[in-house]
């Protein structure tokens, strides 16, 4: 599940980094994300021999948990099988972190998921967007587009994040953490 906000207004904003990653994975895996179910746009496919469901909640960020709970029920999977991809203010732009469990860390989309999903040990793939400049509101920052200097690097960031997601799916989160959490 990649977190973001629906609609053209939010298309390439920092807060939609989860959507951007799922779009990248869908493109490389030949998966079409477009079926409307469980308050999400969903695409199904395979990664090696692993069944894969890619979901982009259409509930807006603050209600992502409604979609997460519906998806887990619909596809009859445990929370431990869920990977949530989202932007993170506390990581510098381009850094990523994988972890299992933990708190929302102030992220409202993640807080909503924690509120609606009983099994809190799902995997989180945090994608760094950095802190807002002095004097800029955090909400305005996450809902703004990447500046040109970051836009140029975004393709590489998404490529590395897709590799991390592949490692989570095929090798498990512990091996993925060992490989990707120490990279800068």
Catalytic residues: 15
Instruction: Tell whether the torsion through CA atoms of 72, 75, 81 and 84 is positive or negative.
Output: negative
CA distance 127 to 97: 7
Residue 33 vs residues 29, 30, 44, 141: alpha-carbon distances, Å: 11, 10, 8, 27
List the alpha helices (DSSP H) in the chain: 17-29, 64-74, 108-116, 138-142, 148-171, 173-180
- Using CA atoms in the order 147, 150, 156, 162, what is the torsion angle rounded to 10 degrees? -70
Q: Which residue, 150, 99, 93, is CA-closest to 127?
A: 93
């Amino acid at each position: 599940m990649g977190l973001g906000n629906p609609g053209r207004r939010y298309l390439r904003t920092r807060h939609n980094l989860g959507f951007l990653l799922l779009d990248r994975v869908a493109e490389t895996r030949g998966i079409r994300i477009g079926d409307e179910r469980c308050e999400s746009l969903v695409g199904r496919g395979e990664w090696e021999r692993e069944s894969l469901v890619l979901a982009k909640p259409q509930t807006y960020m603050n209600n992502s948990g409604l979609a997460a709970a519906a998806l887990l029920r619909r596809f009859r999977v445990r929370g431990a099988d869920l990977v949530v991809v989202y932007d993170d203010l506390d990581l510098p732009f381009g850094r990523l972190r994988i972890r299992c469990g933990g708190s929302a860390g102030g992220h409202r989309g993640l807080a909503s998921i924690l509120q609606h999903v009983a099994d809190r040990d799902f995997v989180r793939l945090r994608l760094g967007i950095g802190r807002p400049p002095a004097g800029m509101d955090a909400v305005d920052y996450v809902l703004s587009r990447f500046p040109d200097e970051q836009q140029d690097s975004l393709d590489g960031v998404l490529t590395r994040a897709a590799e991390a997601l592949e490692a989570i799916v095929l090798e498990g989160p512990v091996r993925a953490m060992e490989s990707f959490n120490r990279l800068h």
